[in-house]
Amino acid sequence: MPSHSAKSAARDPFFSSILAVLWILLAFFVLYPLLRLFLRAFTTDSGTFSLQPLLKVLGNPDNVHAFGNSLLLAAVVGVGGTLLGFVYALVAGRCGLSPRWTRVIDTINLLPLISPPFTISIAILFSFGSRGLITYDLLGISRYSAYGFTSTAAAEIITYFPVSYLTLRPILAAIDPSMENAAFSMGASRWRVFRSMTLPLAMPGLLNAFLLLFAASLADFATPLILAGNQFPVLPTEAYLQITGQFDLQGGALLAVLLLLPAAVVYFVQRHWLAGRSYVTVGGKATQRSDVEIVAPAVRRLLITLCTCLTAMILYFYLLLLYASLVMAFGANSTFTLANYHTIFTDGREVIVDTLIIAAIATPLGGLYGMLVGYLVARRKFVGRHVLEVTTMLNYALPGTIIGIAYLLAFNDPPVELTGTAFILIACYIFRYSPTGIRATVALLHQIDPSLEEASESLGASSSRTFRRITLPLVMPAFFTGLGVMFIRSMTAISATIFLISISWNLITVRILENMTELALGPAAAFSVLVVVVVYVVLMLVARALASLRTQQGGRIENILGG
């Protein structure tokens, strides 16, 4: 099976035109804004380019401290979130749960991902603070501080682990059982099989999930803003404060640029790790399913218990939210009321519609874009492939605030005046939130034998047809992951959005944030509940539509909402 064939770009019109379009888009929506930002960051007051500002920023021990904190937080969140996602993926894919339970877990675990800005953080504050519902009311611990590293890391892990779960589940599902069986038959214990087969074969997924989580945590300013307290400054928050507090755009931009370094290192490490090894487990020969129980009953119980507890906690957070949306004033006046919903459906009607329109446009575009980039990067050989791959990650790895500002700088003036339009929001979403889809696709393609695509080509199918009929269905779970995350982010993004919304285009999340700062917890909670409901309904419908589409062709691949 000499399978790693070189495909020449030159003779494939579909491919080369796609590539050209992609580069133009990336140049315009990723490189150009960042260039504008960098120019700003590295220009001195006298208007000349200089590294002086950077050195100044680096010379500040507080910044170095914050940088270290950011790395620590990102590493912990990356590892913790990836592992937690992996545990869930194991429970869903290896513990023989009934499809119904898998679906329940799936559904609840999407919640943190959907969580509109700050919900998890606020819920943690209310639950674990000095008068927290759990720490004080339940456990009687008073004066417990919910601020600091632990709670920040916990909140981020809970918020981001679904990404890891969504990336890893299809990976686990695609591991050929005969690999594990072969190891078993040689007398390996379950633990050993897990260690030497399941885990390494899931490596592309694990590394990609880690990369996603690491970068996400590195760029997250909202959670630390609320939870980190004063002992634990991190770079994105510092950058945010620099810009919105000191109005020092240059300083903020420089801090943000620093964040690219660790993200890049992680990217290259994961690439190096995966290079030269093969993870193909979906070969040209279909394997029979197997009755072997991969997970020992005791471990299975343990895992399920663990997941159930965490799932229960997530559920509790959101019940808290639901409760807050149904009372006059959370914690003060528990009278039941629908007034909050009334408010959002009258005052908020316009933002709901705006948000939905933008999400409806950004989701399919972003999903396809992610899929396509993932495919090109994993399957095609062309000059500048790695540069392209890195470029697609840039907007993701930078704090949203920075991206927002960069877009504002780049697209505020003619000739490319896009500010004030929906277009700028859509573009921002597509190029900022598709890396999940990209990484998931890349990881999954690592497992699929290229001979399947070759077979299609030999049967006369063009590259585009091969892509649509063979590649796409095979990476459908990753596509779903990308699509789902894209939609969820379009519904809930805040950091970049703050700078891109306009009088014509305002979004739900901005309203939620606003409500929070206005101390209007009720409407904020009601909006959040609305977002959650909308996301679920839409994902469910999409999943169902696509599922029925696939059963016509006799597909068998799981989707984002289970079974």
Partner 1 sequence: MASIPTPQPVPIRLEGIVKRFDHNVKGRIAAVDNVDISVAPGELLTLLGPSGCGKTTTLRMIAGFEHPTEGSIFIGDHDVTRLRANERNIGFVFQNYAIFPHLSVFENVAYGLRVQGRPEAEIRSAVEQVLDLVGLGGYGTQQPHQLSGGEQQRIALARAIVFQPRILMFDEPLSNLDAKLRGQMRGEIRELQKRLGITTVYVTHDQEEAMAISDRIAVMNHGSVVQIDTAEALYARPCNAFMANFIGKSNLLPGQVLQADARGAQVRVLDQTLQCLQAAPEVRAGDAVRVVVRPEQISLAPGGGPGSASVISRTFLGEKTEYQVQAGTATLHAVAYGAGASARLAEGQAVQVVLPAEGNAIIRD
Partner 2 sequence: AGLTGPATARAAETLNVYSIWPEPYAKPMFKAFTQETGIKVNFLRFSSGEALARIIAEKNNPKIDVLFGGPIETFAAGVENGVFQVYRPPSTKVLPDRFKSPGGYWTAIADDPLVFMTNTKFLKDNHLQPPASWDDLLNPAYKNMLQMADARTSGTAVTRIFSVLEVNHRDENKTFAYLKKLRQNVQTYTKSGGGGTIPIGLGQAGGGIFFIVDALETRDKGYDVTISFPKEGIGAAAEGIAIVKGAKHLDAAKKLVDWATSAKMQSLLAPNKINFVPANPQVKTEPGLAKILSTAHIIQIDDKYAGANRKRIVQKWVDEVLNAK
Ligand X SMILES: Nc1ncnc2c1ncn2[C@@H]1O[C@H](COP(=O)(O)OP(=O)(O)OP(=O)(O)O)[C@@H](O)[C@H]1O
**Beta carbon nearer to ligand X, 62 or 291:** 291
How far apart are the C-alpha atoms of 515 and 510, rounded to whole Å? 8
- Closest contact distance (angstroms) between CB of 297 and partner 1 is 11
- Closest contact distance (angstroms) between CB of 132 and partner 2 is 7
**Beta carbon nearer to ligand X, 276 or 414:** 276
How far apart are the C-alpha atoms of 548 and 541, rounded to whole Å? 11
Q: Which residues bind partner 2 (CB under 8 A)?
A: 62, 125-126, 129-132, 143, 145-147, 225-226, 229-230, 233, 241, 243-247, 249, 328-333, 347, 350, 354, 405, 408-409, 412-414, 417, 419-423, 498-499, 501-506, 514, 517-521
Which residue has tokens 């981001």? 160
Q: Choose which of 288, 346, 517, 548 interacts with partner 1 (CB under 8 A).
A: 288
- Closest contact distance (angstroms) between CB of 415 and partner 2 is 11
Number of CB atoms found within 10 A of residue 468's CB: 13
DSSP string, 525-555: HHHHHHHHHHHHHHHHHHHHHHHHHHHHTT-
DSSP state at residue 380: -
- Closest contact distance (angstroms) between CB of 140 and partner 2 is 14
SS3 content of the chain, % helix, strand, coil (to 5): 70, 0, 25
- Closest contact distance (angstroms) between CB of 364 and partner 2 is 16
Which residue has tokens 């078993």? 184
- Contact by Cβ (8 Å): 493, 509: yes
**Beta carbon nearer to ligand X, 230 or 288:** 288
**Binding-site string for partner 1 from residue 458 to residue 477, where x marks contact by CB under 8 A and - marks none:** xxxxxx-xx--xx--xx-x-
**Beta carbon nearer to partner 1, 203 or 306:** 203
Residue 137 interaction partner, one of partner 1, ligand X, partner 2, none, beta carbon < 5-8 Å per kind: none
**Binding-site string for ligand X from residue 376 to residue 395, where x marks contact by CB under 6 A and - marks none:** --------------------
**Those residues with Cβ within 8 angstroms of residue 239's Cβ, 6 or more apart along the chain or in another chain:** 221, 251, 252, 253, 255, 256, 259, 399, 401, 402
- Contact by Cβ (8 Å): 209, 439: yes
How far apart are the C-alpha atoms of 199 and 205, rounded to whole Å? 10
**Beta carbon nearer to partner 1, 193 or 532:** 193
**Beta carbon nearer to partner 2, 388 or 500:** 500
- Contact by Cβ (8 Å): 215, 264: no
Q: Which amino acid is at 385?
A: R
**Beta carbon nearer to partner 1, 143 or 289:** 289
Q: Which of 286, 242, 203 is nearest to 452 (CA)?
A: 286
- Contact by Cβ (8 Å): 124, 146: yes
**Beta carbon nearer to partner 2, 130 or 451:** 130
Q: Which helix (H) or strand (E) holds 335?
A: strand 333-336
**Beta carbon nearer to ligand X, 1 or 261:** 1
Q: Does 454 bind partner 1 (CB under 8 A)?
A: yes
- Closest contact distance (angstroms) between CB of 351 and partner 1 is 40
**Beta carbon nearer to partner 2, 354 or 449:** 354
Residue 200 interaction partner, one of ligand X, partner 2, partner 1, none, beta carbon < 5-8 Å per kind: partner 1
Q: Does 289 bind partner 1 (CB under 8 A)?
A: yes
- Closest contact distance (angstroms) between CB of 1 and ligand X is 7
- Closest contact distance (angstroms) between CB of 288 and ligand X is 5
- Contact by Cβ (8 Å): 132, 125: yes
DSSP string, 405-455: HHHHHHHSSTTS--TTSHHHHHHHHHHHHTHHHHHHHHHHHTTB-THHHHH
Q: Which helix (H) or strand (E) holds 351?
A: helix 349-379
Residue 11 interaction partner, one of partner 2, ligand X, partner 1, none, beta carbon < 5-8 Å per kind: partner 1
Q: Does 63 bind partner 1 (CB under 8 A)?
A: no
Q: Does 223 bind partner 1 (CB under 8 A)?
A: no
Residue 520 tokens read as: 């209007």
How far apart are the C-alpha atoms of 322 and 41, rounded to whole Å? 43
- Which residues between 2 and 21 bind ligand X (CB under 6 A)? 2, 4
**Binding-site string for ligand X from residue 268 to residue 307, where x marks contact by CB under 6 A and - marks none:** --------------------xx------------------
**Those residues with Cβ within 8 angstroms of residue 285's Cβ, 6 or more apart along the chain or in another chain:** none
DSSP state at residue 497: G
Q: Choose which of 144, 455, 546, 563 interacts with partner 1 (CB under 8 A).
A: 455
Please tell me whether the peptide bond between 99 and the residue prior to it is cis, using omega within 30 degrees of 0.
no
**Beta carbon nearer to partner 2, 146 or 172:** 146
Three-state secondary-structure class, residue 346: helix
Q: Does 185 bind partner 1 (CB under 8 A)?
A: yes
- Which residues between 260 and 279 bind partner 1 (CB under 8 A)? 276-279
Q: Does 203 bind partner 1 (CB under 8 A)?
A: yes
By the 10 Å C-beta count (0-12 exposed, 13-18 middle, 19+ buried), 203 is classed as middle
**Beta carbon nearer to partner 2, 517 or 548:** 517
Q: Does 190 bind partner 1 (CB under 8 A)?
A: yes
* Region of residue 554 (left: phi > 0; alpha: psi -120 to 50; beta: else): left
Residue 449 interaction partner, one of partner 2, ligand X, partner 1, none, beta carbon < 5-8 Å per kind: partner 1
Residue 147 interaction partner, one of ligand X, partner 2, partner 1, none, beta carbon < 5-8 Å per kind: partner 2
Three-state secondary-structure class, residue 78: helix
- Contact by Cβ (8 Å): 211, 267: yes
Residue 123 interaction partner, one of partner 2, ligand X, partner 1, none, beta carbon < 5-8 Å per kind: none
- Which residues between 372 and 431 bind partner 1 (CB under 8 A)? none
- Contact residues for ligand X, defined by CB under 6 A: 2, 4, 288-289
